[in-house]
Chains A and B, each alone.
Chain A
Amino acid sequence: MAAVLGISGEYHDAAAALVVDGAIVAAVQEERLSRIKNDARLPIHAARACLAHAGLAAGDLDRVVFYEDPIEKLERVLVSTLRTFPRALRQFPRALGAQLGGKVWVVDRIAEQLGVARDRVTSTQHHRAHAASAFLVSPYPRAAILTVDGVGEATSTALWHGAGTELRELGRIEYPHSLGLLYAGLTAYLGFEVNEGEYKVMGLAAYGKPRLRDEFAKLIELRGDGTFELDLSYFAYLADAELGFGPALERLLGPRRPPHRPWELERDPNDRRHADIAATLQQVTEEALLGLAREARRRTGEPALCLAGGVALNAVANARLQRESGFEHVFVQPAAGDAGGALGAAILGAIELGDPRPAPLASAALGLPIDPGAASDLAHQLGLGVRTASDVAGEVAQLIGAGKIVAFCQGRFEWGPRALGQRSILANPADPDSRERLNRAIKRREPFRPFAPAVLRDRAATYFDGAAGELTPFMTTVCPIVDAHRDRLASVRHVDGSARVQTVDAAGAPELAAVLAALDRTIGLPIALNTSFNGAGEPIIANEIDALGFLMSHPIDALVIGDLVVTRGAA
């Protein structure tokens, strides 16, 4: 029986996760507490918050596990520097800084900053942590596992077989050949921020046609055995830390798109070209993943597939895997990116110390709770309208039905990048005006980025084709909207007729389930438009101070915290 803390960080999405006696007690991304989007610094705030939530001190920890091996990473950097000499010479000073300014000492620094004995802090491997974060919280006793991201120590893609608490690596693809870096390079080419704009590329893809397959065949060779190889002459990430793509890519695909220029998909032929590039990239990525998944199925014979790594957050690709890979079940945990590595590292440490595998993940509410009492006190001090609702779900449904936009906070915040009813903004999915106001005044998203629906699980099949699988509770897939409801659900429908559905039940998100049931009575749909409770470029809200600050600075109509209803005017 042990208390084990997992840590990820030092590149992007720093997080901490705590496993005690084989149970996942808390998992928190640093950005939620530091209020810096994608905060990569060592997650000391998150680690301390996990410990405080469990009532533990750092000295109570039996082990702390960092999610990757800093020395193996140093080796890859040295080998990569030698391979690309003299092109990488310009990067050399920065490489020195990155490695010796912090990375190689990360295990020491964790021990010193947390106040844990150095011999209790260890490290695992990046892709092993990813594989553990997916399989060991899945509902399957045995499964094939694919871990696909930019790069770990030296691996970009790995195939695993999971059985019980064991993970066996069956094959790998090494850096610099990487689906994550292909996607990131094209994300930069399309003018989006790397490690943040990839899901915008996924949304944009539905507006284009995949007509550039011949050009992409030069960028990446997809082989029959599921492996792939990039033509590195088109990419610059080996020798340039600023840019993922090289001049050869612009000669092949045309000029890059300047960042921050407003999109004109209807009028600007260049924007249409860029949408076609996004569509082709998305299609090629899906086919690469399908190739990997079919190989995983062939080699393991298992009926279930678990995915992790940043590429596993591609909900559109996950939907194709579910339909076409031959697996009966596909599972992606909500923090599939690098943050999830903290959870995998903690579970691996706990198993090594003799603890059992955790129970399957039923809810993403693994963060810190929000305090309605403290919110009430603060709201009164700020002169806001405050009242306690006797039927909070009914009141929220009434507000939404009347075209209001409601911020909805319940219990502990979510693990991962998706708001799943703990820190959500809710609106009427059948009201285009609500959607338009939400986007114009609060979210300020690009026009091609859809909003998502949350639907009662046992009613999902009425509105969405193929909904209610293992992926839908965590919003890691998309489903087509049933034809009969396409027009009514236009506010949560993407241009291709799909929606990134979250299925909700009382076990996973009881308060949101109650609101959806009340909405069914109020507007005749057990569905809400559900978007994350944050402004443009901000991390999702964590606590009552963040939430009340948001209410005072954004035109939402009401803020609900527990059974408290807070408004800007009098109650």
Chain B
Amino acid sequence: MSRLGNRLRTIGRILRHFASRQRWFLLPLLLVLLLAGALLIATGGLSYVAPFIYSIF
């Protein structure tokens, strides 16, 4: 339960950050990310890490 609480708190921080920084136009992309990310995590498709990951890290 505390783990879920931590995640919800972080999601709240993310949403506040994008609202406060006038980055609202990024919200649709963020929501797609969140949804697709949940799918990826559910399907266990994440393990490979490439060397030039600056653009995604």
Residues on A lying within 8 angstroms of B by beta carbon are 10-11, 40, 71-75, 77-82, 84, 88, 91, 93-101, 103-105, 107-108, 111-112, 118, 150-151, 175-176, 178, 181, 184, 188, 193-195, 236-244
> Is residue B56 contacting chain A, with contact meaning CB distance below 8 A?
yes
A151: chain B residues at CB < 8 Å are 54
> Is residue B50 contacting chain A, with contact meaning CB distance below 8 A?
yes
Partner of A184, one of B10, B40, B52: B52
CB pair B26–A79 under 8 Å, yes or no, is yes
CB pair B29–A112 under 8 Å, yes or no, is no
- Ordered by A's residue number, 24 sampled pairs between the chains whose C-beta atoms are within 8 Å are A72-B17, A75-B21, A77-B57, A78-B26, A78-B29, A93-B36, A93-B40, A94-B50, A95-B55, A98-B49, A98-B57, A100-B34, A100-B40, A101-B37, A101-B40, A105-B6, A112-B6, A176-B55, A181-B54, A194-B51, A237-B52, A237-B54, A241-B50, A242-B50
CB pair A105–B34 under 8 Å, yes or no, is no
- State A82–B13 Cα separation when bound (angstroms): 22
Task: For residue B25, give the distance in angstroms from its CB to the closest CB of chain A.
Answer: 9
CB pair A105–B7 under 8 Å, yes or no, is yes
Task: For residue A390, give the distance in angstroms from its CB to the closest CB of chain B.
Answer: 50
Task: For residue B4, give the distance in angstroms from its CB to the closest CB of chain A.
Answer: 10
B37: chain A residues at CB < 8 Å are 96-97, 99-101
- State A77–B18 Cα separation when bound (angstroms): 13
CB pair A100–B38 under 8 Å, yes or no, is yes
Size bracket of the B interface = 35 or more
B1: chain A residues at CB < 8 Å are none
Nearest 5 A/B pairs, CB to CB: A100-B37, A241-B50, A97-B46, A108-B6, A95-B56
- State A258–B8 Cα separation when bound (angstroms): 47
Task: For residue B23, give the distance in angstroms from its CB to the closest CB of chain A.
Answer: 6
CB pair A94–B56 under 8 Å, yes or no, is yes
CB pair A96–B54 under 8 Å, yes or no, is no
CB pair A71–B52 under 8 Å, yes or no, is no
Task: For residue A109, give the distance in angstroms from its CB to the closest CB of chain B.
Answer: 9
Nearest A residue to B36 by beta-carbon distance? A96
Task: For residue A247, give the distance in angstroms from its CB to the closest CB of chain B.
Answer: 15
CB pair A108–B57 under 8 Å, yes or no, is no
Interface residues of B in 6-42 (CB under 8 A from A): 6-7, 9-10, 13-14, 17-18, 21, 23, 26, 29-30, 33-34, 36-38, 40-41
- State A176–B54 Cα separation when bound (angstroms): 9
CB pair B56–A91 under 8 Å, yes or no, is yes
Task: For residue A80, give the distance in angstroms from its CB to the closest CB of chain B.
Answer: 6
- State A288–B41 Cα separation when bound (angstroms): 42
A84: chain B residues at CB < 8 Å are 55
Nearest B residue to A75 by beta-carbon distance? B23
Contact count A vs B, C-beta below 8 Å: 120
CB pair B6–A111 under 8 Å, yes or no, is yes
- State A236–B5 Cα separation when bound (angstroms): 39
CB pair B55–A108 under 8 Å, yes or no, is no
- State A188–B10 Cα separation when bound (angstroms): 36
- State A91–B53 Cα separation when bound (angstroms): 10
CB pair B56–A77 under 8 Å, yes or no, is yes
A78: chain B residues at CB < 8 Å are 23, 26, 29-30, 33
CB pair B40–A188 under 8 Å, yes or no, is no
A99: chain B residues at CB < 8 Å are 33, 37, 56
Task: For residue B54, give the distance in angstroms from its CB to the closest CB of chain A.
Answer: 5
CB pair A238–B26 under 8 Å, yes or no, is no
A75: chain B residues at CB < 8 Å are 17-18, 21, 23, 26
CB pair A81–B10 under 8 Å, yes or no, is no
Given contacts A75-B18, A151-B54, A242-B50, 13 further A-B contacts (CB under 8 A): A11-B57, A73-B57, A94-B50, A101-B40, A101-B46, A108-B3, A108-B7, A111-B6, A118-B9, A237-B54, A241-B56, A242-B51, A242-B52
CB pair A96–B6 under 8 Å, yes or no, is no
CB pair A71–B6 under 8 Å, yes or no, is no
- State A81–B55 Cα separation when bound (angstroms): 8
CB pair A97–B57 under 8 Å, yes or no, is no
CB pair A71–B14 under 8 Å, yes or no, is yes
CB pair B52–A81 under 8 Å, yes or no, is no
CB pair B52–A188 under 8 Å, yes or no, is yes
CB pair A96–B52 under 8 Å, yes or no, is no
- State A278–B23 Cα separation when bound (angstroms): 41
CB pair B46–A77 under 8 Å, yes or no, is no
- State A175–B56 Cα separation when bound (angstroms): 12
CB pair B46–A241 under 8 Å, yes or no, is no
B38: chain A residues at CB < 8 Å are 100
- State A229–B22 Cα separation when bound (angstroms): 27
CB pair A243–B55 under 8 Å, yes or no, is no
- State A242–B51 Cα separation when bound (angstroms): 6
- State A237–B56 Cα separation when bound (angstroms): 9
- State A240–B9 Cα separation when bound (angstroms): 32
CB pair A238–B55 under 8 Å, yes or no, is yes
